[in-house]
Chain A
């Protein structure tokens, strides 16, 4: 539920309660006022009757008018007026109607009379009804108006806040040259929020750029000493009179240096992917690319006696060429590296935008939760840096490629859903 709706509903609830309570008071007081008015009129008529008694009676004993009855009586009637509601037959339309009645006693000379004055309540009741209905209709109108007006006012007042929210939602620290600019607000709290958000985003951007620079510089700086170590080790290897044991040790140094160099380059690649530095894309014919890479790995494949079967549908994907290479090289490389030393198998299938690379090797399922994490190695193979699948995962995440691992029929299978990068697909 959004802020505007909740606030509007709460205010409407309060308005409902107040109007309802007010309505009860209004109804009771209106009824009382109107009834009092009727009573006042009856009292005025009573005074008139008393003043004009002789004219009204005209020497008769009993007098019946539509709204007046004078009856002689022997009972002792108190002169105090008494009010009562009653039902009487209306002689003109022969219908029973409600009346307000005033009864009082009157003494004229030796004679005592009971006088009843009547006032029809049809009009006053109808008035109360109509007034109540009008008030009710007005209340409903007010409640609805309050709800919508409140929403309108709130929307206008909180406009600056929603602009800040929109900016914060759309802000991407990786998008270059997008400056944070928030309008000055006339509401002090929003101005403060503006200032805080602006500072926060500037700090985030600064830290991000520093981090990016640090990663790039560190990686670059590491390459230089690694290259020197490599160079010196190679020179040492060529030194005449070197023993085989010494050569072995130097080879180990070279292998480790190479591994360190590859690791360094991989980390730099991951960092560049995270920093959105691979924005360009190209159309790549996937079957052609796969066949080409398999060709490059032919020596290794033949060395290990691995049989490859490929079933590739014609598919074109839109991806940065380097990342496309890395994706396939890492998966294919792993399929070869972690395969059996003899009679291994690799199956590559590309159908309906789904690429599956499956390989034999290791009879246990890999840990699905950890295989894509950096530096995790399930095998003891020293050539494995533990970072290949991490790169694969990063590339897949970058292009919204679905990535899944399964172990079935003694084969480790990696499935990529390339739907979103196939010809019309693009990174979100």
Chain B
């Protein structure tokens, strides 16, 4: 039962993370373009930013729940589970910590964007803060991928 629930959480996390990543890339592209080309910050941009932030909060909640589902190292019953677990636990801590920082960056960025008067200013803050969050996200994903291929 516990492992089924965990699988559901994992699946949800993977799906929402994928959506988040795609959205993140689009938001970043839009922000940088908007900043350089002096575009107008439309209500659609505001909505996208809001959805971006909400998804991140949702991921945080999922992550906290999942972290407590990950098995302790002395509960493993097969070699493959044990091999997987070492890298998974380390990566979970790195990923959780990093994504919390990413969330802080996004939240601060969102506050600046909400209070900025001009579109250029909004896009600039979005580029810097969301850009930072995206770099953090991609870095931790990179660590996970390299860990999977090259071992913990």
Contacts and interface: CB of A to CB of B under 8 A. Distances in A.
Interface string B73-98: 11111110111001001100110111
A13 B83 contact: no
B111 A98 contact: no
B109 to A, nearest CB: 9
A98 B86 contact: yes
A97 B74 contact: yes
B79 A96 contact: yes
A129 B82 CA distance: 16
Contact residues of B: prevailing secondary structure: helix
A20 B136 contact: yes
Interface stretch (A132-140, A212-220, A255-263, A378-386): A132-140
B136 A96 contact: no
B94 A27 contact: yes
Interface residues of B, number: 30
Contact of B74 (A9, A27, A122): A122
A95 B89 contact: no
B83 A87 contact: yes
Contact residues of A: prevailing secondary structure: helix
Interface string B60-83: 000000000000011111110111
Contacts of B76: 95-97
A136 B97 contact: yes
Interface size bucket, A side? 20 to 34
A96 B97 contact: no
Contacts of A87: 79, 82-83
Contacts of B101: 16, 19-20
22 contacts: A1-B112, A6-B112, A9-B111, A9-B112, A12-B104, A13-B105, A16-B101, A17-B132, A20-B98, A20-B136, A27-B94, A93-B74, A95-B75, A97-B74, A98-B82, A125-B89, A128-B90, A132-B93, A132-B94, A136-B97, A140-B100, A143-B104
Interface of B: 73-79, 81-83, 86, 89-90, 93-94, 96-98, 100-101, 104-105, 108, 111-112, 115, 129, 132, 136, 152
